[in-house]
């Protein structure tokens, strides 16, 4: 069976400025050029949570959405302004999207506190962990299982001084999700990928690495900052080899990729056109 591709985009922050829009279009063009089988976007689609910013996202990524190749979850920035939570996620905090070869569990890790600019941290309750676990259980035997959420489940370095200051003051804004470790434990042996964003530097980690089915956790970083998108090749419910990077614009205009915990070597997957 031919391997399929799954691309991980995050933190586009559309509406921030014109350059962000140009970069999102370049990312879309690169994804279309390689005929991406499926693309996930893990939150902060918009910068100010405005309906017009979401409309812009939908316009740009229409070529993928129209072919059912796009799956999205909300981030804290999407809760600002017009509060786009429901427009992005629907009613439930946990939902399942099935695509060829994929079982995607979408978790909304945002909360009402995200309506305020400074309260960017996520929320994950014991019930959320149980709901995610139950949704994972419904996967077909030969589907790749991925949990999609915006916030980080493990501690990660702060992106900028304000986050370091918040942590120093004991505020929760830069913290990882409470119960992130519980979620990892619940997913052990039953889930292949945890894909998130929020932190704008890219990170990667492998957990339960000696298991036949380890759990791989990836932070996409901000795709419009980085200029590249991680791609996983998969077949029969398993990731094949190391993920590669799809470059959306030339190397000299891209932000450096911060090496992650147990990250694998990065490669460029050059668009075919
Ligand atoms: Fe973000
Ligand atoms: Fe965020």
- Listed by start position, the domains of the chain span 4-269
Distance 20 CA to ligand 2 centre (A): 16
Q: Chunked in runs of 10, what are the mean pLDDT values of the chain (273 residues)? A: 94 97 97 98 98 98 98 98 98 97 98 91 96 98 97 77 65 77 96 96 92 95 96 95 92 66 36 32
Q: Cβ(77)–Cβ(49) under 8 Å?
A: yes
Quote the CA–CA distance of 70 and 40 in Å, as a whole number.
6
Token duo for residue 48: 């100010």
Distance 141 CA to ligand 2 centre (A): 33
107 backbone dihedrals φ, ψ, rounded to 5°: -115, 125
- Chain-centroid distance, C-alpha 13: 13
Distance 273 CA to ligand 2 centre (A): 32
Distance 21 CA to ligand 1 centre (A): 15
Distance 11 CA to ligand 1 centre (A): 4
Q: Cβ(159)–Cβ(200) under 8 Å?
A: yes
Full DSSP string of 249-265:
S-GGGSPPPPP-TTPPP
Which-ligand-closest: CA of 174? Answer: 2
Token duo for residue 140: 């077909």
Q: Cβ(261)–Cβ(156) under 8 Å?
A: no
Distance 134 CA to ligand 1 centre (A): 28
Distance 235 CA to ligand 2 centre (A): 31
Distance 47 CA to ligand 1 centre (A): 8
Q: Is the dihedral of CA 120, 125, 127, 131 positive or negative?
A: positive
Protein residues placing their CB within 5 Å of the ion ligand 1: 11, 44
In this predicted structure, what is the pLDDT of residue 249?
86
The answer to whether domain 4-269 has CATH 3.60.21.10 is yes
Contacts of 28 (CB under 8 A, 6+ apart): 60, 61, 63, 64
For the sheet with 268-269, list strands across it.
70-73, 38-42, 4-9, 228-235, 238-247, 268-269
User: Which H/E stretch holds residue 185?
Assistant: helix 180-187
In this predicted structure, what is the pLDDT of residue 104?
98
Which-ligand-closest: CA of 11? Answer: 1
Distance 272 CA to ligand 1 centre (A): 29
Tell me, what DSSP letter sits at residue 43? Answer: S
194 pairs with which residues across the strands? 147, 217
Tell me, what DSSP letter sits at residue 131? Answer: H
Distance 192 CA to ligand 2 centre (A): 23
Quote the CA–CA distance of 125 and 200 in Å, as a whole number.
24
In this predicted structure, what is the pLDDT of residue 258?
58
In this predicted structure, what is the pLDDT of residue 177?
86
In this predicted structure, what is the pLDDT of residue 154?
85
């Amino acid at each position: 069976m031919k391997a399929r591709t799954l691309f991980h985009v995050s933190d586009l922050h559309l509406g921030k400025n014109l350059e962000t829009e140009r970069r999102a279009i370049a990312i879309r063009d690169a994804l279309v050029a390689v005929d991406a089988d499926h693309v996930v976007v893990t939150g902060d689609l918009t910068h100010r949570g405005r309906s017009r910013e979401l409309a812009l996202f939908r316009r740009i990524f229409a070529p993928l959405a129209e072919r059912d190749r796009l799956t999205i979850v909300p981030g804290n920035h999407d809760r600002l302004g017009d509060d786009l939570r429901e427009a992005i996620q629907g009613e439930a905090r946990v939902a399942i999207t099935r695509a060829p070869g994929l079982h995607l569990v979408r978790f909304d890790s945002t909360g009402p506190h995200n309506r305020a600019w400074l309260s960017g941290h996520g929320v994950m309750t014991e019930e959320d962990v149980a709901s995610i676990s139950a949704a994972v259980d419904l996967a077909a035997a030969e589907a790749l299982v991925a949990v999609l959420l915006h916030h980080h489940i493990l501690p990660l370095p702060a992106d900028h001084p304000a986050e370091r200051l918040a942590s120093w003051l004991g505020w929760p804004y830069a913290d990882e999700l409470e119960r992130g470790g519980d979620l990892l434990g619940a997913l052990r042996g039953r889930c292949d990928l945890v894909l998130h964003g929020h932190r704008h530097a890219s990170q990667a980690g492998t957990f339960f690495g000696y298991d036949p089915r380890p759990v791989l956790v990836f932070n996409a970083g901000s795709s419009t900052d980085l200029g590249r998108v991680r791609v996983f090749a998969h077949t029969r419910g398993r990731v094949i080899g190391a993920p590669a990077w799809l470059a959306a614009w030339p190397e000299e205009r891209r932000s450096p990729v911060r090496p992650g915990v147990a990250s694998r070597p990065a490669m460029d997957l050059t668009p075919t056109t």
